[in-house]
Amino acid sequence: MNLMNMVDPDFNSLIELSKSAGDMTKIEPAMLRNFLDESSLSSRGKPVEIKETKDYKIKLDGRTLNARMYDNNNAKSAILYYHGGGFLFGNIETYDNYCRFLAKESWVKIISIEYRLAPEHKFPDAFNDAYDSFHYIAKKKKDFGIEGRIGVAGDSAGANLAAALCLKCRDGKTEMPAVQVLFYPSLAPDNFSRSFIEYSDNYVLTGKMIRYFGNMYSKNMQDLINPYFSPLVADDFSNLPPAIMVTNEYDPLRDPEETYVKKLREAGVRAVGIRGIGMIHGSATDFEVSDGARNIVKMVARIIPDYL
Ligand SMILES: CCCC(=O)Oc1ccc([N+](=O)[O-])cc1
């Protein structure tokens, strides 16, 4: 049986392209960032039309972050969005069309946050940016036109940040996001799960890349066992916001993500798990490539208001 045939065929050319690109972990990180950001900008389709976008500066201790708000409906509630990219690449521009799509389909404000990237900024810089930007916006919600509740969301490395910041809000008893929407987060180092063993070659995100991203983001081995770096190693999953978890069938990160859903439920947290059959890592931002991916993002977007 040819396993490739079970992957959504809309991903075939992406999979072939990633195989022909060779070993990306051999490229110097800043060059790799330029290459990946440029490729994602150049493959972007026609901009999704949206009524309003507005750029903001988020002034935090010792640094200022860029943010962009997307609003199609004068919405009251908001989702802060942390982009993916292995902690190493991705920015507001490369996520612009995807955030437009999310805002249009969800009818809530989407605020895309540009956090600091590795390897120039190691853990906990991106994590602190995610946590501090949530509290900054929660405190100044009127300046952002927010009258309702605020949730957090992200994909891949950005979903790691969203999950981790919820743990810290719970631990520190600070204001909590209303929901955590996690598109295939990286949750902990892993070598032995079934999904890692079966899918860490051939499906765009390789085991080698996963280790490379983890190495770029971590300062030392101690970081790996810090729950704000690896949310899956937390001792306590109780009293966290409700979660919507999207996993991909052909994703090496899939099994730890589905374990996270189980741990949340065991701890009494409302958690919905949606496995995208035939999907690969990065599916959500491939909403212009795959109808399956597009429909999953639409479905998630449309249930978000139920939590806000
Ligand atoms: C969270 C533990 C370290 C780790 O696995 O880092 C990763 C970061 C990003 C990705 N990714 O974007 O696919 C994967 C792993």
Q: Which residues of the chain have pLDDT under 70?
A: 1-5
Q: Is 189 in the pocket of ligand 1 (CB under 6 A)?
A: yes
Q: Is 285 in the pocket of ligand 1 (CB under 6 A)?
A: no
**Domain coverage including residue 289:** 52-307
The alpha carbon of 118 is separated from its chain's Cα centroid by a whole number of angstroms, namely 15
With respect to residue 121, please indicate whether it lies within any of the assigned structural domains.
yes
Atom number in ligand 1 closest to CA 224: 2
Question: Quick one: pLDDT at residue 5?
Answer: 64
Strand order in the sheet with 78-82: 52-60, 63-71, 109-113, 78-82, 150-155, 180-183, 243-250, 271-280
Q: What is the pTM of this model?
A: 0.97
Cα atoms in the Cβ-side hemisphere of radius 13 Å centred on 128:
13
With respect to residue 27, please indicate whether it lies within any of the assigned structural domains.
no
Q: Is 232 in the pocket of ligand 1 (CB under 6 A)?
A: no
Question: Quick one: pLDDT at residue 45?
Answer: 85
Question: Quick one: pLDDT at residue 44?
Answer: 85
> How does DSSP assign 28-40, residue by residue?
-HHHHHHHHHHHH
Would you say 299 and 273 are in contact if contact means Cβ atoms under 8 Å apart?
Answer: no
- What is the Cα–Cα distance from 152 to 165, expressed in whole angstroms? 9
Q: Is 251 a catalytic residue?
A: yes
Q: Is 157 in the pocket of ligand 1 (CB under 6 A)?
A: yes
With respect to residue 20, please indicate whether it lies within any of the assigned structural domains.
no
Question: Quick one: pLDDT at residue 301?
Answer: 98
Residue of 71, 251, 255, 286 with catalytic role: 251
* Counted domains in the chain: 1
Which CATH number is 224's domain given? 3.40.50.1820
With respect to residue 38, please indicate whether it lies within any of the assigned structural domains.
no
β-pair partners for 182: 154, 245
